[in-house]
Structure 1
């Protein structure tokens, strides 16, 4: 039985672990909360309390990796720390946290790494964006994600696939609530680039099933109505106050293409009407 380690059993990692268990894999999962251990163990996940640090390697990391052929890194950057302006991002560097654990990954049984990244690495532009497009991130999280992507892809001790998700939605992430009631929202004509949790999991399962390593994939549902039309419709459908948009300033917004993923994995999105 193949074993998979999931670093971060949160919003994505936990349901992913459940799906992989059903597929017949043995799953190790990490959490930063001792309180969550019992729940993870009851599901059948071999669980570890593991918090990445910028200046230390977690004691539990070696056991967490031991015996696994695949490592899935599914933790958000969480760069802000105490300061909302990211001024202390360097002290909470996601890049440094990943750099710290690389030597142990290299020495472990891990052969393949799947890094959950974001389309935020592309920055903003009025164009269609695919995997060939040069990534020029403008946010601190986007910059650090891109640096980690390059760090992992350059490592020859294991094969890495980068999965760049668009905005994540699901049962407890209702898009109707994202902008409901807000005023003067920018970029009304910009296209949406979202993906449902169900497809996030389906794509990861497909990557594993087809051994699709050493590549970068955009994962966004091929459904791109304008922000104004989409969020207004969603708010009204949920009996919420629709947002108002600023139409005086020209809209800026990219359209993320998942054509390469669809072809490479022979994948069909299940949630196309978001």
Structure 2
């Protein structure tokens, strides 16, 4: 462990009295909950699956069954009482996404939540070239929905809100070799914008240990090879049919460097081909 990573763990363990509620114990929320628990946080969360609720409860994560498409409670659930709320709910998991998550955030504010971290997405950016935090100009329905949700988070009444704009998610159960294998696409020369689960599980606890949150940060690994290069290699290493690409495409690159400067933490993944090879060996 390098000195910066060690200092991050130390600062997090000093926050042992802090409590965190995670709405959405899924691909990111579940390992994040377990990571925070190991760092001394009191952690609770939500899921839509009874088996998962039982399994996580047995591990000491108080887990509430909560379907966000059902009518919301009139008060913030006691099981989710916490200093900080993390909302890790992808758009495809709930109808009327911006409206419903805004309602959840306002309920949390009324329930005493002091800080809110929302996992947004880089679909909020349009255009070509490097995209930084100030460049959000959505040009798609997905991007407009995400911007509306960010606005709802900031208008919720929670005292401190940060939107973490995540690039494409890989690692854990998300195997990029299977994403495009054997299919045909345009834009083979467009750069990829991805972030690995292992980097999120370092950055997010470090963010919780800080009290001077910016309103928004990007999370995107600093290596942006072409889609053709990356997904062809990812499929090859898994013994799958490579995707076929036509056309070029300049595309955009998401600049995720601000979070590194803010936390004094480098990305673990700085070369996606090295990451693919290591993942294939494990």
Classify the TM-score, shorter chain.
0.7 to 0.9
Residue in structure 2 matched with residue 72 of structure 1 by the alignment = 86
SS in 2 for 1:203: helix
Superposed counterparts of 1:91-240, under 5 Å: 92-123=95-126, 125-138=127-140, 140-183=141-184, 185-240=185-240
Secondary structure of the residue that 1:224 maps to in structure 2?
coil
Q: Tell whether the 8 Å contact from 1:48 to 1:60 is kept in structure 2 after alignment.
A: no
Structure having the larger proportion of residues in helix: 2
- Go from structure 1 to structure 2 and tell me whether the alpha carbon gap of 1:212 and 1:200 turns closer, same or farther (over 3 Å shift): farther
Contact kept? 1:8, 1:29, Cα under 8 Å: yes
Superposition deviation, residue 135 in structure 1: 2.4
Quote how far apart the aligned CAs of 1:65 are. 3.1
Deviations along 1:138-182, one digit per CA (max 9) or x if unpaired, are 0x3322221111122234442101001101001321111111111
Q: Distance in 2 between matches of 1:269 and 1:109?
A: 34
Mapped pair 1:46 → 2:46: no
Please give the TM-score of this superposition, normalised by the length of structure 1: 0.87
Deviations along 1:187-218, one digit per CA (max 9) or x if unpaired, are 11100001110111111111111224242000
Given the alignment, which residue of 266, 269, 274 partners 1:268?
266
Q: Tell me, in whole angstroms, the C-alpha distance in 2 between the residues paired with 1:27 and 1:38.
A: 15
Gaps of 5+ in 2: 1-16, 273-282
Q: Partners of 1:151 and 1:259 in 2: how far apart?
A: 26
3-state secondary structure, aligned to 1:40: helix
* Distance (Å, rounded) in 2 between the aligned partners of 1:165 and 1:45: 25
SS in 2 for 1:78: helix
Taking structure 2 as the reference length, what is the TM-score of the superposition?
Answer: 0.85
Give the corresponding residue for 1:254. Answer: 252
CA RMSD of aligned residues (A): 1.8
Contact 2:18 2:41 in 1 (8 A): yes
2:20 paired with 1:18? no
Please give the alpha-carbon distance, in whole angstroms, between the structure 2 residues aligned to 1:21 and 1:32: 21
Aligned equivalents of 1:268, 1:75: Cα separation in 2: 26
- For the Cα contact (< 8 Å) 1:195–1:221, is it kept in 2? yes
Q: Which residue of 1 aligns with 2:48?
A: 32
CA contact (8 A) 2:47 2:64 kept: yes
How many angstroms does 1:29 deviate by? 0.9
SS in 1 for 2:229: helix
Whether contact under 8 Å (1:65, 1:109) holds in the other structure is: no
Contact 1:161–1:212 under 8 Å retained in 2 = no
Q: Contact conserved, 1:130 with 1:256, CA < 8 A, in 2?
A: yes
